[in-house]
Amino acid sequence: MMTGAEILVECLKKENVDVIFGYPGGVLLGIYDTLFDTDIRHILPRHEQGGIHAADGYARATGKVGVCMATSGPGATNLVTGITNAYLDSVPLVVFTGQVPTSLIGGDAFQEADIIGITRPIVKHSYLIKDIKELAPSIKEAFHIARTGRPGPVVIDLPKDVVAAKTKFKYPEKVELLGYNPNYEGHPMQIKKLLKALESAKKPVVYMGGGVRISGATKELVEFVEKINLPVISSFMGLGGFPGDHPNFIGWLGMHGNYASNMAMTETDFIIAIGTRFSDRSTGRLDGFAPNAKIAHIDIDPASISKNVVIDIPIVGDCKVVLDQMSKYLGDYNWDRRAKERESWLKQIKAWDSEHPFSYKRSNRVIKPQFVVEKIYEVTKGDAIICTEVGQNQMWAGQFYKFKDHRQFISSGGLGTMGFGFPAAIGAKIGRPEKEVFDIAGDGSFLMNVQEICTAVQYRVGVKVAILNNKFLGMIRQWQSLFYNNRYSYSCLECQPDFLKLAESYGCPAFRAEKPEDVEPILREAMKIKDLPVLMDFVVDREENVFPMVPAGAALNEMILGD
């Protein structure tokens, strides 16, 4: 006979869980007492939100399921932002929450919160365990649901009496869930329709999203693209799914994407969309999006098909599997027929890129934030895992770092969560200790989970934090400048801590650069420190803007290009 706490730990071992990001509380003490004697590594963040973002970063960097735990009431509700963040970005998490005893549920007991009800719209599935016999089967199902199909978070709520109860431990060998059978293979007839339409297209593009990265379909996509010589445009969340230095890679589209991608998407006559949800930040005004294009859409989530954009050729399936299927039919079509037109189309797109590449006015006097990102790219040789906060720092990271690997770029795309990047970087570094991991941060975002410096120091996590410090909520200020007559209403962060002293108070090495010539030496010095976090405070041009910019409500080709 085993207690619920012991069963939980055995289940985690069966699922090969090697690290948990968790915060203890009264109803979880039985679990924590059991964890004390296991080999499973436990990371104690300084806030539950930091813990779940770390589990999220760990999952994205490793491809494993991230595991997070928090106690009942406020501990559980502090996870809600992180659960939503993972849900929108399709990140596999299993989240354990403590609950009051079953006899007290519904009675407004101390630290009772209906976390199942609160999170129902933002999880892939959830369980409230009322009988210890349900525990092991539910955990088995939770990991299966989190990692299969379109990945996502699953919550398991654990009442205190269930954790203490006893029963025999039996872990199911397989999962059978009525009505849950993700479709991995695309329908052959639909695939042939896509290839027939592509054969006739004069100006085709491949538009790839985060689904390509999640399914690990880079190799298959590169082979497909090279055989037909197609231009590849990424969504922001797709960055890294196709090599950023490949000659067929055009860039990323949307609000702060590059000119060539936005123009190509406006002029194309056929789109092969792979693993993307056509978010509003990517499409711009919908009635101006790809007005002359037929659209084929490959996605494992049938609910994503025609959700935001009407699709002509839907294909439900896993990106990697469907691309592999497509390659088997390529010999049945005449790709020479439109080869010259496709080549001419690719030259046109490259010409657009030459006219308006990502660029900025360089300065010898003040540090430009784009310059910092360029230098990070240089000193890391383009091989680091880059996490970002949210705002201008996030966009500059996407513009000036060329991502080559599908697990190299970690950013909050769907929810746009300030405070995400630093704890996510901690999780990524714990999962991939052999890699350099940077958090490219804004001062406003970084301050939202700054307490996690303590976590990184305690566990000697050698993550690098590069703050692009402009003493503003930079993206808010940019919008106020462009659309609200420079009325900077409550976006100034003039009062902020001395980041060097703050870091040093935690035992974290820290540097500051105020001149362009100091940037690279500080980055190289930071790279020498391997077993502690390093904070770098780059004092950048306060009123630098991110361009190009597609204003809200505008079409993709209605960009503001800047100076």
Q: Which of 10, 13, 111, 471 is an active site residue? A: 111
Residues, the chain: 563
Say if CB 62 and CB 89 are below 8 A apart. no
Could you tell me the two tokens for 5? 């706490």
Question: Phi/psi of residue 193, each to 5°?
Answer: -60, -45
Owner of token pair 């590069």: 466
Nearest to 199 by CA among 272, 97, 287: 272
Owner of token pair 């230098």: 375
Is 395 part of the annotated catalytic residue set? no
Q: Which of 395, 475, 536, 559 is an active site residue? A: 475
> By 3-state DSSP, what share of the chain in percent is helix, strand and coil, each rounded to 5?
45, 15, 40
Q: Which helix (H) or strand (E) holds 519?
A: helix 516-527
Could you tell me the two tokens for 436? 């350099």
Beta-strand runs (E) in 191-330: 204-208, 232-234, 249-252, 270-274, 294-299, 313-316
| Cα dihedral sign, 301-323-291-283 | positive
Nearest to 84 by CA among 447, 412, 409: 412
The separation between CA 40 and the C-alpha centre of its own chain, rounded to angstroms, equals: 25
Is 472 part of the annotated catalytic residue set? no
Over the range 447-459, which residues count as b (16 or more CB within 10 Å of their CB) and which as e?
bbbbbbbbbbbee
Is 475 part of the annotated catalytic residue set? yes
Question: Phi/psi of residue 539, each to 5°?
Answer: -80, 105
Is 48 part of the annotated catalytic residue set? yes
Is 160 part of the annotated catalytic residue set? yes
Q: Which of 124, 140, 160, 464 is an active site residue? A: 160
Owner of token pair 């950023």: 244
DSSP H helical ranges for 156-241: 160-164, 188-200, 210-215, 218-228
Q: Kindly give, in sequence order, each residue whose CB lies less than 8 Å from that of residue 217, ignoring residues fewer than 6 positions away.
A: 211, 241, 274, 275, 318, 319, 320, 323
Say if CB 435 and CB 381 are below 8 A apart. no
Say if CB 494 and CB 471 are below 8 A apart. yes
Give me the torsion for CA of 15, 20, 25, 28, rounded to 10°.
10
Q: Which of 48, 141, 374, 436 is an active site residue? A: 48
Nearest to 432 by CA among 68, 61, 153: 61
Catalytic residues: 48, 110-111, 160, 475
